[in-house]
Structure 1
Amino acid sequence: MSTPGDHTPRWPQYLAGTTTHARRGGIQNAFRYGVDYVLLDPNSTRGPLLFSRNRWNLASVMDRNHGGAPKQGRGLTWAKEVFERAGLAPDGLTILLLTQPSFLGYIFNPVSFWLAYDGDDLRAVIAEVSNTFGDRHSYLCAQPDFAPITAKTCLTAQKIFHVSPFQEVAGAYRFTFDITKSRIAIRIAHENGAEGVIATLVGDLHDLNNARLIKASLRRPLGAMRTVALIYWQALKLKLKGARYRRRPLPPEQEVS
């Protein structure tokens, strides 16, 4: 393993991002919203006054919300175990977490990402996916032999987890990660024949500070609660368009696929 490169943030990074979702097939729907993410070193507790790790604040990231079942997470320890079981020794890696912080203690993350770097090379990603039913499943994304993941790399995973009641648990995801020191662009395409959804997360990275946190809380009040409300709003629109509603199946037994 090489030494950590420039991707190791000495201070939490703030992503004022944009997420887009576009449904393909017979019933189409698309939307675009602003979202707030942080990119951080899970080993570090550094941050501005209004941001905390593992304690309440205006914005915070709690280990219990990541790395395992919701509210029972083990944080970085869990991520290291997942990478090691897959054959990527965690010694010498830099593992970062890209996630939406909680605002005033309320949290819901449709998807967070554990990023494993060997020096400047991104070697693997865990996409930690949660649904509004309280379930979670994670997809490990990596090339054969953990070759570096570049902006042109397309990684595939079979969809086995229920996310939207208007999409089948079938088909495959195709992930692309274009991540630099200053910008993040992630694309996830669910392909199931003529049906599917394309989702993106794009934005520039800046040092996290109190002013940015205050602006985010004013621009997008209630944080994650707003995210949940927007999910239900889009679900209502799909229902009114005639999309078929599917009951929630049991989540997969395995935690990671």
Structure 2
Amino acid sequence: MTATLAARLADGALLHMRAHVGHARRGGLHHAFRYRVDYLLFAPEVTHQPPAFFSRNRFNLFSFYDSDHGGVRGTGTGAAWAWEKLTDSGLTRTPDMVLAFMTQPRFLGYGFNPVSFWMVLQDDTLVAVIAEVNNTFGQRHSYLCHLDQFAPMTANTQITAEKIFYVSPFQDVRGQYFFNFSLKPDRVAIRIQQIDGENGLDAGLTGRFQPLTARVILQSALARPGGALRVSFLILWHAIRLRLKGAKWRKLPPPPTHEISQ
């Protein structure tokens, strides 16, 4: 019998995903794009046997630093922060729960993640997600997604949250987010809609999992050189294109006073 995703992660699996990421603006000013990005999925509280070219808390071609996530950027506490926020929101941790994390790795020491995801699996069902959102101005805010009493979420479950964090200088900080998550043993699909009247954004992330190996890392580095640096360049490139199309620039406000909302 094939092990479940939760069991694989609990057993120390390091999974790679060549994700398809797409964005499309709502409203009168049309702008859309789609590109591929490398993501990792793993259980950060579990001991791993990393392949060549990947390290945890050390420099390498691909790497993951615990301090990059969970709390203030650069001084995060990783999984401990995630469990603290989940517990504060009423989740009772049980032995059959696995905390998974999906994020882009650092590339040659450089890291930037527009959004990463903390995912709680129980009996191989998804019961909670924390979407950890970063903007290009050094700020971070997270959105906690779950149903009442942390009931299982399916692909058809839609979680709503008020937009309170400045992500793009070309969008107002208002409106609603609508989150959909589908996590399967071999793939993931995430859809995030932001609706502000006739304006807003449709964003999606899909991909299939495969074991993270030295060969996969080298292939990814050759196919998408620069990793997170490439992502930062693409964000800048699309910002320039939007400005040339006449998009209005919104002034950067202070970040929310609290780290997480739901």
The bucket for the TM-score relative to the shorter chain is: over 0.9
1:144 alignment counterpart: 148
1:210 alignment counterpart: 214
SS in 1 for 2:77: coil
Deviation (angstroms), 1:101: 0.3
2:6 alignment counterpart: 7
Aligned residue runs from structure 1 range 159-198, under 5 A: 159-198=163-202
Amino acid at match of 2:91: L
CA contact (8 A) 1:7 1:180 kept: no
Aligned residue runs from structure 1 range 1-257, under 5 A: 6-8=5-7, 9=9, 10-43=12-45, 44-92=47-95, 93-257=97-261
SS in 1 for 2:144: strand
SS in 2 for 1:7: helix
Encode CA deviations 1:185-207: one digit per residue, 9 max, x unaligned: 00000111000101111011000
Separation in 2, partners of 1:78, 1:119: 23
Separation in 2, partners of 1:223, 1:230: 11
TM normalised by structure 1 equals 0.96
Amino acid at match of 2:201: V
- Structure 1 gaps, min length 5: none
Instruction: Give the total of aligned pairs.
Output: 254
Separation in 1, partners of 2:4, 2:89: 23
Deviation (angstroms), 1:91: 3.3
Amino acid at match of 2:36: G
Deviant stretches of 4+, over 6 Å: none
TM normalised by structure 2 equals 0.95
CA contact (8 A) 1:11 1:47 kept: no
RMSD: 1.1
Separation in 2, partners of 1:14, 1:5: 16
CA contact (8 A) 2:13 2:48 kept: no
- Structure 2 gaps, min length 5: none
Amino acid at match of 1:170: R
Separation in 2, partners of 1:162, 1:248: 7
CA contact (8 A) 1:183 1:205 kept: yes
